[in-house]
Amino acid sequence: MSRICVIGTGYVGLVTGACFADLGNTVVCLDVDETRINRLKSGIMPIYEPGLEQIVDQNVRHGRLSFTTDYPEALKNAEFAFIAVGTPSGVDGEADLQYVRQAAESIADLVEWPIIVVNKSTVPVGTGDWVAEVITRRRNGRPLDFNVVSNPEFLREGSAILDFMSPDRVVLGSLHREAAEKVARLYLSLRCPIMITDLRTAEMVKYASNAFLATRISFINEIANICEELGADVREVARGMGLDKRIGPSFLDAGLGWGGSCFPKDVKALAHMAVLHGTHPQLLQAVMDINRNQRRRVVVKLRRALGTLDQKVIGVLGLSFKPNTDDIREAPALEVIHLLENEGASVRAYDPQAMQAAASVLPRVRLCETAYEVAEGADGLLLATEWNEFKQLDFGIIRQTMRTPIIMDSRNLWDGEQLRAMGFTYFSIGRGSKTNGHTQG
Ligand code: NAD
Ligand code: UGA
């Protein structure tokens, strides 16, 4: 079993650390955020992620997993240093590598034994080479036996543990096959395909995968908008398409578009890389444009239904960028709320997990305790995130307490016919009326 240091204890670092510990390795998770580490030491998770607390707790108790802010302690005798720090968008959409640089420099300063540096953060193509240069430069002539391996992470928030433990594939890239094979051994017990390739190709697999998934979503959203005009139902269209094995059913849910900490920044960063190197990423630009418009369309629908949004009360259900996470980074709900507030609406909202995170970024929004409180007295009710608890709401109560019974189902969660029969004006995404031949939206 191996000794692993994981640098950065966010979604990726914490899940990686906990899962490698669970596979029997000794793992030290390091972060520069003292509050985060102190809380983790007391068993408090910094994020909401199903199954995480249990796996952390179990492995801490067995002595395989520990947390620290102390670099020397974390790196001591480590055979592998996984870099899992954030790579946020810089001013021009490029990936900001300052945290990766800090991590690489700390490794260069503190390690005096053979080590494999594994890049798990999503980093621009060429970063693996750059990390090796940063380390070599920092050593200033002092020799160090090290290799860099790219190991992009493909987990999704909300199912991160499951994704880590049962991945579709593990991708490893290195100029040194032996180093990549050593990292591959850490994953052997997962019994999944392991692809070993060169550094730059591995880095590109990550960007291309995220960009492709975002493209599928923008594609189906564009089809949804056409469906609305032509009287077709996008859910059925997606089902019919997905039955084709070459297409497959995943990532064809039309809605408010993609958000989260990765798709927006990664598509932007890939487009930036492309422009910088003289290519013209037209498709990526269109994918981003469609996504932006998708949020605007629901606001337009509400405005048209109400005549104006000024002084109207709009209730928003769901704030996290997707269900089963408390992450609100680039959440579609936040942008929609911003647009609604700009037009003079007063917004109230509820989310099963993201209320604490939302409180600091939504100062003007009234945060409610339940979905029913959100609906009470509202002129419109907008579903932004399809949490399970919103699937079976009592619309009888909601119908009685809303001031104007307008529903904007931006995730196609509810039965429109039933709601219309109850007296609601119901809008959804890409579900044109079959009887009229054209649009109910
Ligand atoms: P995050 O923001 O949740 O966590 C990053 C952590 O790194 C923070 O806790 C921060 O304090 C810490 N950190 C920053 N500088 C540090 C340093 N010098 N030393 C030690 N710790 C430091 O980020 P995340 O969502 O876990 O993403 C990490 C990387 O993984 C990003 O590149 C992201 O694109 C990629 N990724 C994320 C996901 C996801 O679902 N969130 C999935 C796949 C890949
Ligand atoms: C995504 C990828 O799925 C992961 O493989 C990748 O590792 C990760 O980004 C990353 O690089 O960080 P994540 O952002 O956690 O994972 O969540 P997804 O399930 O991919 O959803 C992203 C966004 O797309 C959400 O806002 C979701 O609501 C939206 N979405 C997803 C749709 O609108 N329609 C769909 O059919 C699927």
Ligand 1 centroid vs 267 CA: distance in angstroms?
17
Atom of ligand 2 at shortest range from CA of 325: 15
Q: Which residues contact 386 (CB under 8 A, 6 or more apart)?
A: 255, 318, 323, 411, 413
173, 149 contact by CB (below 8 A): yes
CB of 153 sitting under 6 A from ligand 2 = yes
Residue 439's pLDDT is: 46
CATH of domain 3-197: 3.40.50.720
CB of 260 sitting under 6 A from ligand 2 = yes
Domains 3-197 and 212-440 share a fold: yes
Residue 200's pLDDT is: 97
Q: Which residues contact 363 (CB under 8 A, 6 or more apart)?
A: none
Coil, helix or strand at residue 42: coil
CB of 157 sitting under 6 A from ligand 2 = yes
CB of 164 sitting under 6 A from ligand 2 = no
Test site for ligand 2: of 212, 322, 324, most ligand atoms within 8 A of the Cβ? 322
State the ligand closest to the CA atom of 262: 2
Test site for ligand 1: of 29, 31, 163, 270, most ligand atoms within 8 A of the Cβ? 31
Residue 92's pLDDT is: 87
- Region of 311 please: left (phi>0), alpha (psi -120 to 50) or beta: left
Residue 438's pLDDT is: 42
Domain ranges of the chain: 3-197, 212-440
Ligand 1 centroid vs 38 CA: distance in angstroms?
18
Coil, helix or strand at residue 27: strand
Between β-strands 115-119 and 366-367, what pairing exists: parallel, antiparallel or unpaired? Answer: unpaired
Residue 434's pLDDT is: 56
CB of 8 sitting under 6 A from ligand 1 = yes
Residue 93's pLDDT is: 86
125: which 2 tokens?
């193509």
Give the separation between CA 359 and CA 361, rounded to whole angstroms.
6
Between β-strands 170-174 and 346-350, what pairing exists: parallel, antiparallel or unpaired? Answer: unpaired
Residue-by-residue DSSP string for 123-156: --TTHHHHHHHHHHHHHTT----EEEEE------
User: What are the pLDDT digits (tens) for 158-192?
Assistant: 999 999 999 999 999 999 999 999 999 999 999 99
CATH of domain 212-440: 3.40.50.720
Active site residues: 262
CA distances in angstroms from 305 to 227, 312, 431, listed in the order given: 20, 12, 17
Give the residue ranges of the chain where pLDDT is below 70.
434-441
